Amino acid sequence: MEENTNIPFFKASINEQDEQAVLSVLRSGWLTTGKECLAFEKEFAAKVKTQYALAVNSNTSGMILAMEACGVAPGTAVITTPYTFVSTAACARHLGADVLFADIEKDTYSIDPDSIEKIFAQNPQKKIVAIVPVHIGGNVCNMERIMRIAKEHKVRVIEDCAHSFPSRTKLGYAGSIGDCGIFSFYATKTITTAEGGMVTTNDEQLCKRMTQMRLHGMDRTTWDRYTSPRASWEYDIIAPGYKFNMPDILAALGRTQLSRADEFDTKRKQHAAFYNRAFADTDFVELPPDSEGNSWHLYLMRLNNEKLDCDRNTFAKELQQAGIGISVHFIPLFQFTYWKNLYKDFTAENYPNAMKAYSRTITLPLWPDMTQQMLERVVQCVKETGERHHA
Ligand SMILES: *Cc1c(COP(=O)(O)O)cnc(C)c1O
C-alpha cells in the first residue's frame, strides 16, 4: 500500500496524550505562560541535568537571550561556523555584533577547534565574547577542546542544541557543557511544540538576566504576578526586554513530547542503524558523521562524488521525483547574499570543508513513526539512483 505513496521528509509524532494535554490547557482558561511552562522547564532541566531551563518561543529567541546575557553587543564578535541554520549567526547581528566564521571539520561537520584557534590568533584586535558550536545532526562537537580554548581566552560557550536533544557525551548532555544551551522545538525537531525552544544554563546570573529579558525586562514573571501576594499590577522594568515567553498551550505539548523522548530517541537510532547497514556495502554513499550519544536528528547521507556521474542536485532531484522527501543541510552562509556581502573574505574558497560538505550531502527522512516499509523504500530509491549514475 505504501509502495506508491510519497514518504515525507518529516512527520511529527503526535498521539492522543499530546492532544489531550493541549485540550486540557485550552479548557483551563489559562492559555499563556504559567504552570505548564514551569513544569516543562523543571522536567527539561532534570532530563539534560542542568540547574536551570527557560522555555522560549523559539531557538532563535533563546539564542538572542543567551547572547545578550553573555555580553554580545556592538563592538564585540562571536565565533561560529557557516555550516548552520542562518539564525545562529543572525542573532549576533541583531545584537550589533560581528560574526567570525570558523570552518568545519571534514569528517564530523562540527566546528573545527584548530580553525577557532586560528581566528583568535588572527584577530587580536577583536573583542570576541563567545564561541557558538552547533551540534550538526545531533553529533556533538569536540566540546573538550572548545571548552579549553574558551577558558584560555576567557570567552563564553553557547551551544546551538537545535539538533542535539537528547545528545549525550562523556562530558554530559549537549546543552549542559557550555555556559548556555539552546534547544529548538520547531515542528521538525526531535521533540516539538510546533514552535518553541529552551535555554539551559547552570549560571544563576545568566538565568536571571535571560528570565527578565524574556518578558519585557520585567522583574517579575506573569505567573508570579497573578499568584503571589504582591499586587499583581506592580512590577519594575530593568531593561528594554523582548517578548520571548512560551505559552502554556505549547508547554503542555512539550511536556508530553518530553515524556516520549526516550521512545523517539530509540526509534531514531534504530532507523539510522538500518540506513547505515543498508548503505555499508555501497561505494557511492559515505555514512553520516556519528559519535557516541548522537541524537540522530538528521541522517546526513554523503555522496562520494568520485563514484557518481552526477552531482548532488541531480541525485536529490531524482529522489524527490521518486517520492522521497529529502532536504539539504545546510546551505553554508557564504552562499547567501546578505552574508557574502557583509564580509569580503567570506567565500567558499576560504571554507573548503563547509563547501565540500554542502556539495555532497543529502538529508534523508528520519522520524520516529517511519515504518520498515518506508525505510526500505528510501534505501531502494537511493541504491537505484546511485546505480543509475554509477561512474
Ligand atoms: C532549527 C534550527 C534553529 C532555529 O530554531 P527555531 O526554533 O526555528 O528558531 C537554529 N539552529 C539550527 C542549527 C537549527 O537547525
200, 175 in Cβ contact below 8 A?
Answer: yes
Mutational pocket test of ligand 1: of 85, 135, 158, 164, the residue with most ligand atoms within 8 Å of the beta carbon: 85
Q: How far is the CA of 183 from the centre of ligand 1 (A)?
A: 8
Q: How far is the CA of 230 from the centre of ligand 1 (A)?
A: 38
Q: Does 1 reside within a domain?
A: no
Domain extent, residue 311, equals: 261-388
Picking from 259, 283, 310, the residue at the C-terminal end of a domain is 259
Output the nine-digit C-alpha cell for 293: 550519544
Is residue 279 in contact with ligand 1, taking CB distance under 6 Å?
A: no
Terminal alpha carbon distance of the chain? 34
Is residue 386 in contact with ligand 1, taking CB distance under 6 Å?
A: no
* Residue 26 and residue 36 in one domain: yes
134, 109 in Cβ contact below 8 A?
Answer: no
pTM over 0.95, yes/no: yes
Is residue 169 in contact with ligand 1, taking CB distance under 6 Å?
A: no
Q: Does 65 reside within a domain?
A: yes
* Residue 301 and residue 236 in one domain: no
For ligand 1, atom 8, the nearest C-alpha belongs to 186
Cα separation of 94 and 315, whole Å?
A: 37
Q: Does 11 reside within a domain?
A: no
* Residue 296 and residue 246 in one domain: no
Where does residue 325 rank: exposed (0-12), middle (13-18), buried (19+ CB within 10 A)? middle
Picking from 217, 236, 259, the residue at the C-terminal end of a domain is 259
Residues 215, 23, 48: CA angle, nearest 5 degrees: 55
Please identify, by atom number, the ligand 1 atom nearest to the C-alpha of residue 329. 15
Q: What are phi and psi of 45, to 5 degrees?
A: -60, -40
74, 97 in Cβ contact below 8 A?
Answer: yes
Picking from 236, 259, 282, the residue at the C-terminal end of a domain is 259
Is residue 134 in contact with ligand 1, taking CB distance under 6 Å?
A: yes
Blockwise average pLDDT, block size 10, the chain, 391 residues? 75 98 98 97 98 98 98 98 98 98 97 98 98 98 98 98 97 98 98 98 98 94 80 90 98 98 98 98 96 96 97 98 97 98 97 98 98 98 98 92
Q: Does 46 reside within a domain?
A: yes
Q: Does 6 reside within a domain?
A: no
* Residue 180 and residue 311 in one domain: no
Is residue 65 in contact with ligand 1, taking CB distance under 6 Å?
A: no
Which residues have a catalytic role annotated?
Answer: 189
* Residue 175 and residue 290 in one domain: no
92, 79 in Cβ contact below 8 A?
Answer: no
* Residue 253 and residue 270 in one domain: no
Q: Does 5 reside within a domain?
A: no
* Residue 164 and residue 251 in one domain: yes
* Residue 243 and residue 295 in one domain: no
Is residue 160 in contact with ligand 1, taking CB distance under 6 Å?
A: yes
Q: How far is the CA of 162 from the centre of ligand 1 (A)?
A: 5
The pLDDT of residue 28? 98
8-state DSSP, 170: T
Cα separation of 198 and 191, whole Å?
A: 11
Q: What is the total count of domains within the chain? A: 2
Element (H, E) at 343: none
Is residue 58 in contact with ligand 1, taking CB distance under 6 Å?
A: yes
CATH code (residue 33): 3.40.640.10
Amino acid at 99: V
* Residue 36 and residue 185 in one domain: yes
Q: How far is the CA of 92 from the centre of ligand 1 (A)?
A: 14
Q: Does 10 reside within a domain?
A: no
Is residue 84 in contact with ligand 1, taking CB distance under 6 Å?
A: yes
Q: How far is the CA of 329 from the centre of ligand 1 (A)?
A: 12
Mutational pocket test of ligand 1: of 59, 80, 185, 329, the residue with most ligand atoms within 8 Å of the beta carbon: 59
Mutational pocket test of ligand 1: of 78, 87, 165, 333, the residue with most ligand atoms within 8 Å of the beta carbon: 87
Q: How far is the CA of 185 from the centre of ligand 1 (A)?
A: 8
Q: How far is the CA of 385 from the centre of ligand 1 (A)?
A: 31
* Residue 236 and residue 276 in one domain: no
**Which has the closest alpha carbon to 63: 209, 195, 204, 210?**
210
The pLDDT of residue 2? 44
For ligand 1, atom 2, the nearest C-alpha belongs to 162
CATH code (residue 363): 3.90.1150.10
* Residue 54 and residue 171 in one domain: yes
Cα separation of 254 and 201, whole Å?
A: 19
Q: Does 349 reside within a domain?
A: yes
* Residue 243 and residue 274 in one domain: no
**For the CA atoms of the chain, what is the radius of gyration?**
22
